[in-house]
Amino acid sequence: MTEALATPPQKQLAADKTSLITGSEAIAVACKLADVDVITAYPIRPYDTVMQYVAKLVSNGELDCEYIVAESEHSQFEIVKHASAVGARVFCGSSGVGWMYAFEALTVTPALRIPMVAMVGNRALDDPGAFGVEHNDALAVRDLGWQLVWVDSAQEALDTALIAYRVAEDRRIFLPCAISCDGAFLTHSQALVKVPSQEKVKAFLPRYDRGDLLLHPDNPITVAPQVNEDWLMEIRRQTAAAMDRSPAVIREAYADFERIFGRSYGNPFFEEYQTEDADVVLVGMGTLSNPVRVAIRQMRQEGKKVGFVRVRWFRPFAAEELAATLGRFKAVGVIDRDFSLGSPYRSGVLATEVRAAMYPAPNRPPIVGFICGLGGREVTVPAVREMTESVYLAAEGTTQPGTKWIGLRE
């Protein structure tokens, strides 16, 4: 960390190269730039494209790592978990039911303070069969100590992967990080991406140093002993404290990122679009930002002051900051590309979380929840307009704040 901060900003580092690549390929390139040591793969659409690119980088001699095709997602995540315990930088990933198949490994990874970085190519949980995006897969680990971030462009995917290593491997954190990329809309869509030079990445990303937690004959520790009721609570609290430190470390990483790479993401936790003078806003995660932005531009031409807040980091959740921001508007609509059956107000996960964040806030505008775009169904511009209408009605006090399913055949 200190090593990276000490890099003189005035030093001229090699320039970026621009490539036309998909979100998956962008993350594979980040693995190469981060000099990842162990990578495990298992096929499931749509995330598996990242491993196809990784495999090609390995076979072409561009990425020097142990690349293992596992026999299940459970093993895939267990293998890298153990590689990380002996000090290797690791990468892994999955989608939908594959991510759920690894669930046991996912639960122990943060508890062991393993700074794994994973990609989730968000996908519906079959059955019934569906390849398209839904956020329930990644969201399933929201309580366990995973840092969760949603990105909406290939550039952001690459940059966030580098930031994820920097944050996860920070000794103050040592918690895993999953980067969510919407299936198809991001994993498979090409865009022009600035690929930074190896030199810049070196300046940004220090080596992974497991320190006193390293499993090695020179440091013969017993990892994950049987603690029972005597110590489990204290250890959980330590993990919670690491998560509590995460926002500051994330901020630090984004600031350094801007200094070294010259690209800024503004507020790391959420991105605001045309909110300055907005009456009402929509809130959402991932690539639905694209149709939302188009719809907002249309509506603004018609004189409607609509804005959008795209949540990036779901864990840690920037509750106070988000509540302060959302408190400025007359009403808020939260778009969930997920579901949480039987939850309060029958909302999705994000809306439930936003409501909880708003409760202690001095200004609490009405919140309408929307469930939209499940199973990869497109979130269309008319759908965004329809949602906005409901938010306006809530602002006027004409509708009860509840949850609406949008774009549904009744």
Partner 1 sequence: MAVSDRELAELVQLRPTQTLDAFKGVKKLPLEEFFTSGHRTCQGCESSLVMKMMVKAAGPRTIVLGSTGCMYVANTTYYSTSWVVPWMHTQLGSSGSAGLGTAAGLKALMRKGKIKDEPINVIAFCGDGGGADMGLSAISATLTHPDYNVLILMYDNESYANTDIQLSGSTPYGANTTFSPPGKLKRIMHHRWKKNMAGMMAAGHPTCRYVATVCMSFPVYSMNAVRKALSIGGPTFIHSLDPCPKGWDYDPMLSHELGELAVTTGIWPLYEVEEGVFRLVGKTRDIADGRLKRLPVRDYLLKQGRFAHFTEDDIAYFQSKVDETWEKWLVPGVIPFKKQIEEDRPPA
Give the residues lining the site for partner 1 (CB under 8 A): 35, 37-38, 64-66, 68, 70-72, 74-75, 78-88, 90, 104-105, 108, 207, 215-217, 219-228, 230-231
**Residues β-bridged to residue 92:** 118
CB of 207 to partner 1, least distance (A): 8
Q: Which helix (H) or strand (E) holds 238?
A: helix 228-261
CB of 230 to partner 1, least distance (A): 7
CB of 109 to partner 1, least distance (A): 11
Contact 384, 306 (CB under 8 A): no
**Would strands 313-315 and 331-336 be described as parallel, antiparallel, or unpaired?**
unpaired
Residues 105 and 354: their CA atoms lie apart, in Å, by 28
- Interior angle at CA 336, CA 272 and CA 365, nearest 5: 60
- Name the amino acid, one letter, at 70: A
Task: Provide the strand spans (E) within 233-361.
Answer: 270-273, 280-284, 306-311, 313-315, 331-336
- Residue with structure tokens 């531009």? 297
Task: Considering the complex, state which of residue 72 and residue 363 has its C-beta at the smaller distance from partner 1.
Answer: 72
Residues 242 and 114: their CA atoms lie apart, in Å, by 12
Q: Is the peptide bond prior to 316 cis by the omega test (within 30 degrees of 0)?
A: yes
CB of 58 to partner 1, least distance (A): 12
What is the Cα gyration radius of the chain? 21
Task: Considering the complex, state which of residue 17 and residue 207 has its C-beta at the smaller distance from partner 1.
Answer: 207
Task: Considering the complex, state which of residue 221 and residue 408 has its C-beta at the smaller distance from partner 1.
Answer: 221
Task: Considering the complex, state which of residue 235 and residue 294 has its C-beta at the smaller distance from partner 1.
Answer: 235
CB of 253 to partner 1, least distance (A): 22
Contact 16, 196 (CB under 8 A): yes
CB of 117 to partner 1, least distance (A): 15
Q: How many CB atoms lie within 10 A of CB 27?
A: 33
Residues 183 and 375: their CA atoms lie apart, in Å, by 10
* Phi and psi angles of residue 68, each rounded to the nearest 5 degrees, phi first: -120, 125
Contact 349, 342 (CB under 8 A): no
Task: Considering the complex, state which of residue 222 and residue 398 has its C-beta at the smaller distance from partner 1.
Answer: 222
Task: Considering the complex, state which of residue 140 and residue 149 has its C-beta at the smaller distance from partner 1.
Answer: 140
CB of 153 to partner 1, least distance (A): 31
All residues at 6 or more sequence positions from 89 whose CB lies less than 8 Å from its CB, including other chains:
34, 35, 36, 37, 38, 165, 169, 208
Task: Considering the complex, state which of residue 48 and residue 78 has its C-beta at the smaller distance from partner 1.
Answer: 78
CB of 55 to partner 1, least distance (A): 15
CB of 136 to partner 1, least distance (A): 23
Task: Considering the complex, state which of residue 112 and residue 381 has its C-beta at the smaller distance from partner 1.
Answer: 112
Task: Considering the complex, state which of residue 73 and residue 338 has its C-beta at the smaller distance from partner 1.
Answer: 73
Task: Considering the complex, state which of residue 103 and residue 131 has its C-beta at the smaller distance from partner 1.
Answer: 103
All residues at 6 or more sequence positions from 21 whose CB lies less than 8 Å from its CB, including other chains:
29, 154, 190, 191, 193, 195
CB of 103 to partner 1, least distance (A): 11
Question: Quick one: CA dihedral 176, 181, 183, 187, positive or negative?
Answer: negative
Q: For residue 258, is it left (φ>0), alpha (ψ between -120 and 50) or beta?
A: alpha
